[in-house]
Structure 1
Amino acid sequence: MGSVERFFAVFIQIALSLFVLMGVVKKKISIVIFIHAVIEFPFIFVQTGYIKLWMVEPYLAVVGILCMLYIKKTRKLLPDTSST
């Protein structure tokens, strides 16, 4: 179960980093911080022991898939710096 959680968590963390980058570039950091907190909110309950990880896994999978799509979309928005 832990490996499934880590698989989606990697995409979520990458997407959140890109989300913060885009927020800084567009000067909308307060909105980005709020959305970052909303995405991470259910995991607070897992860490404190109020709910079990398996209860958050479906949420994690959906958010992970959405984050994969966001990463793909964001890649097209960022300039290509590989030629420099």
Structure 2
Amino acid sequence: MQLGRRWNVGAEAPGQLPEAMVVAVRGVEDELASESVDTAGWGWTLTFLEGKPIVALDDGTSIHLDDAGHAQVTNPDDAAEED
């Protein structure tokens, strides 16, 4: 069993996180900064599902690895809208 953890936006990502996910986390944080989003108090949560890392930001953004090992970012705005 692998234990997850939390870290603040802008802080160093956990060492157990694959480099592709670290790059994706930085990309999300850079995008938020460029949009002047106030992320004070926001954090990332690392969990594992079947041994694979998943990170989620407090705003609902999530990042996982696809079968090829590439980071896939899902933004909360990408979710289908309900009628």
TM range (shorter): 0.3 to 0.5
When you count helix as a share of all residues, which structure comes out higher? 1
Q: Which has the higher contact order (CA 8 A, sep 6+)?
A: 1
| Structure 1 length-normalised TM | 0.38
When you count strand as a share of all residues, which structure comes out higher? 2
Could you say which structure has the larger radius of gyration? 1
